[in-house]
Amino acid sequence: MFRIEAAEVLLVRLPLKFRFETSFGVQTEKLVPLLVLHGEGVQGLSEGTMEAAPMYREETIAGGLNLLREVFLPRVLGRSFANPEALEAALGGFRGNRMARAMVEMAAWDLWARSLDVPLGTLLGGHKTEVEVGVSLGIQADEAATVEVVRRHVEQGYRRIKLKIKPGWDVQPVRATREAFPDIRLTVDANSAYTLADSGRLAALDAYDLTYIEQPLAWDDLVDHAELQRRLGTPLCLDESVASAQDARKGLALGSGRVINVKVARVGGHAEARRVHDVAAAFGAPVWCGGMLESGVGRAHNIHLSTLPNFRLPGDTSSASRYWETDVVNEPLEAANGLMPVPRGPGIGVTLNREFVARVCELEEEYRA
């Protein structure tokens, strides 16, 4: 049993250390919503992964923060819950808006774990002390630049290289990378930029021994992905189109893909992420943990989730120092030879760098029961 007594909502702006281009556009900074729940003498932390504009999925930062203020926090403040699943059920009557709901659910998991003095991964059923990680590389200026940035990250020991692609920039960087690095684990991510009419172009990627092609078609589609998978030898990986365990079941049953990228916030929190993990395991499909350019709070949650046994492929949880000069947490989250240590200590194992957060904070609100 744990009680939620108060909450803080923070919004911080972090400059990225590099220009990150995908089929959505170019990103040079990240606006990060943070939630702190207080109770049982401890604090539970979470991070929102929605963006300012509805590019990845339909949620936005403005909409998510308003739902926290007006709908979700009023339903949990001042209440006691037997466990985070009970809190999840209290928010379960609302449609969609899974990223906003996940902020409350994930912070509750952290609070509960800290109150029990247990690591979050242990409560979720994980057992690993370190997890395999890869790296997600944005679209580069040309093939030579692509090979060079891949080389740097291969030398750093990352266990999977993922290239962002888009129509007109797909076979070229993949061919150049595979020729330069014939033995690396290589994948691509299209961020929903293609249609079935592009199946011939995507089929050309079969020649380059990719582990998977991630979310090539529409963000809300499963049917066309199944048709595309029948036309390709390379496995498809579902990302945006899996928002629940039911979506995972339907996608795998239809043959829409053979791998699932689990983003804990996209599916509404840790409880549903664990259900997606279990459904995929029942189908024999591996999962891996995707990233949304998280700060240290979201990164720590991702690492703990990745300790579950069916996370059999390297995730996107690469070193925080790739992204930020200064992170919002005090503890370094750094990979070595493609392995990320699970943060030690109760809960997610990291604490807010309050001094730095105060310098970059654009919004700070407090709520009590």
Catalytic residues: 164, 263
Q: Give 1-36 as a DSSP string.
A: -EE--EEEEEEEEEEEEEEEEETTEEEEEEEEEEEE
DSSP string, 158-191: -S-EEEE-BTTBSHHHHHHHHHH-TTS-EEEE-T
Q: Are 262 and 277 in contact (CB under 8 A)?
A: yes
Q: Are 33 and 47 in contact (CB under 8 A)?
A: yes
- CA–chain centroid gap for 42, Å, is 25
Query: Residue 313: which of 235, 243, 251 has the closest Cα?
Result: 235
Residues 6+ apart with CB under 8 A from 321: 332, 334
Specify whether the CB–CB gap between 16 and 36 falls below 8 A.
Answer: no
Bin 319: left if φ > 0, else alpha if -120 < ψ < 50, else beta: beta
For residue 316, what are the CA distances in angstroms to 135, 143, 161, 163, 306?
6, 22, 9, 12, 10
Tell me how far apart the alpha carbons of residues 285 and 233 are, in angstroms, rounded to a whole number. Answer: 16
Look at the alpha carbons of 239, 188, 297, 111 in this order and tell me if their dihedral is positive or negative. Answer: positive
